[in-house]
Amino acid sequence: MLIAVPSDTTDGLDAVISEHFGHCAAFTLVTVTDDAVGEVSILENSGHDEGGCMTPVTLLKEHGVEVLLAGGMGMRPLSGFQQVGIDVHYKENAATVREAVELFVSGNCRAFGEAHTCGGGEGGCGGHDHHHHEPETVPIEGKADIRDGRLVTVDYKLKDTDGAILNSSSETGPMRFIFGAGQIFPAIEQALAGLEPEAHVVKAVSASEGFGERDDTRIIEVPRSQLPPDVAVGTIVTAQDQQGQQFPLLVIHLDENVARLDGNHPLAGKDLVFELTVKNVEGIKEAGN
């Protein structure tokens, strides 16, 4: 099994884990066979230049990675890993690659779900940083515009194309994310680039730019007996695959014998409109300063 861990340094098993998947310097690749650690190598993070936050997803898939152990990640790359068949697990309290791999081998790394994402939940833009280490900020000298490496706070309303509000910062709190770190959809980053506090922008996001198109192969049928007796259509149930990866499924049909479950994201296949107001833009203190 080949495991990848996003890392801030290139010190092998002693490398410090990056708190934000898309912003890491490199990926430490660790081969594990029969729960024993084998070869360790370093794969430089190629960034997001061409393929957005799917670029590192494709990179890891091409190198044969089967499992990713991560801290912070947006919904878009998480969905990408699920699509290419790479299992993602939360690093828990591990600070180094060695600690994370040991936790995973011992069965103590939970499957990475929406609750762990930077903006988890069905309506998030992939940008609320409620679950991970908050970076130390510093004042910005000069123009406080949105650019790579800055911590951005944004109020938002997420609407469908008919104008109905699906979610908003009045319910969940504002989005906080590091710009350029792959924590929000690329289309949203493009709309926000260069803006300053109090700026307002409305951005239409197609399904392919957001939570992806619907995939009928993610709808499955299981015996009704495998579900709790009180389950109903519209209920979210949790399933687990052979690798221990847990994922939510929406019950869309029930009869006496069969249940049909939908593994697509609730907003998959939907064109969306984001209304965004920039609240604050802060600099981030560099490590060692």
Residue bearing tokens 């997420």:
158
CA 171 distance to own-chain centroid: 20
d(CA 73, CA 26): 15
Mean of all residue pLDDT scores within the chain: 82
d(CA 184, CA 147): 14
d(CA 25, CA 17): 10
The pLDDT profile of the chain, 289 residues, written as one tens digit per residue, is 999 999 988 889 999 888 767 668 889 999 999 889 999 999 988 764 444 556 788 888 899 999 999 876 766 677 778 778 888 888 878 889 999 999 999 888 877 755 445 444 444 454 333 334 456 888 898 899 999 999 999 999 999 999 999 888 887 678 888 898 777 889 999 999 999 999 999 999 999 998 889 889 989 999 999 888 888 888 878 776 655 555 678 899 999 999 999 988 878 899 999 999 999 999 988 755 5
Give the model's pLDDT for residue 37: 92
Domains observed in the chain: 2-116 (3.30.420.130), 137-210+269-284 (3.10.50.40), 216-262 (2.40.10.330)
Residue 33's SS3 state is strand
pTM over cut 0.85: no
